[in-house]
């Protein structure tokens, strides 16, 4: 039968990818809330979504907006501190393995969005650009810069203390 699938199928098909995207963009702390807000908003708008729409790109667009809302709300709650705490991105879980999700969260926003939407959600760069703004080439560059930075941090973590490459 032609027409829209039950929303349950949308959650089953895309729930994991959207959670990975929320974690990458916001960090694990706020990811669950962003996921819930994303799927509630999607459920509300679902009947009006055109039947031939790219559901994954549509969900990423909603998740992107929700992530911005969550970040703004967190900024309003934040209290200024005298000392900037050490970035979690350079802490290692067991001495050798670097926490990749912390490294991802520490990337500049555009870079982690581009990495998340292209590599975790599988959107082509043209669709990534439509979500985050800017050109397709700029989206490709942001993702490449982000991956290069992650690779560098991970390569550093894989080497024994004091050694460099």
- Residues near other proteins (CB under 8 A) are 1, 3-8, 11, 15-16, 19-20, 23-24, 28, 32, 35-36, 39-40, 43-44, 46-47, 97, 100-101, 104, 115, 118-120, 140, 143-144, 147, 150-151, 154
Can you give the three-state secondary structure of the chain, one letter per residue? CCCCCCHHHHHHHHHHHHHHHHHHHHCHHHHHHHHHHHHHHHHHHHHHCCCCCCHHHHHHHHHHHHHHHHHHHHHHHCCCCCCCCCCHHHCECCCCCECHHHHHHCCCHHHHHHHHHHHHCCCCHHHHHHHHCCCHHHHHHHHHHHHHHHHHHHHHHHCCCCCCC
Q: Minimal distance in Å, beta carbon 150 to other proteins? A: 6
Nearer to other proteins, 83 or 94 (CB): 94
Nearer to other proteins, 65 or 141 (CB): 141
Nearer to other proteins, 10 or 79 (CB): 10
Q: Minimal distance in Å, beta carbon 19 to other proteins? A: 5
């Amino acid at each position: 039968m032609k027409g829209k699938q039950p929303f349950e199928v949308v959650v089953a098909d895309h729930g994991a990818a959207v959670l990975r995207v929320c974690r990458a963009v916001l960090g694990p702390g706020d990811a669950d809330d962003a996921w819930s807000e994303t799927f509630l908003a999607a459920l509300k708008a679902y009947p009006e979504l055109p039947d031939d729409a790219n559901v994954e790109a549509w969900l990423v667009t909603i998740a992107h907006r929700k992530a911005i809302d969550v970040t703004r709300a967190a900024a309003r709650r934040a209290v200024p501190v005298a000392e900037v705490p050490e970035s979690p991105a350079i802490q290692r879980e067991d001495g050798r393995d670097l926490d990749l999700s912390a490294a991802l969260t520490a990337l500049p926003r555009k870079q982690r969005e581009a990495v998340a939407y292209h590599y975790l959600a599988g959107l082509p760069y043209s669709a990534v650009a439509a979500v985050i703004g800017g050109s397709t080439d700029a989206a490709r560059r942001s993702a490449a810069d982000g991956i290069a930075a992650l690779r560098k941090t991970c390569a550093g973590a894989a080497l024994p203390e004091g050694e460099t490459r």
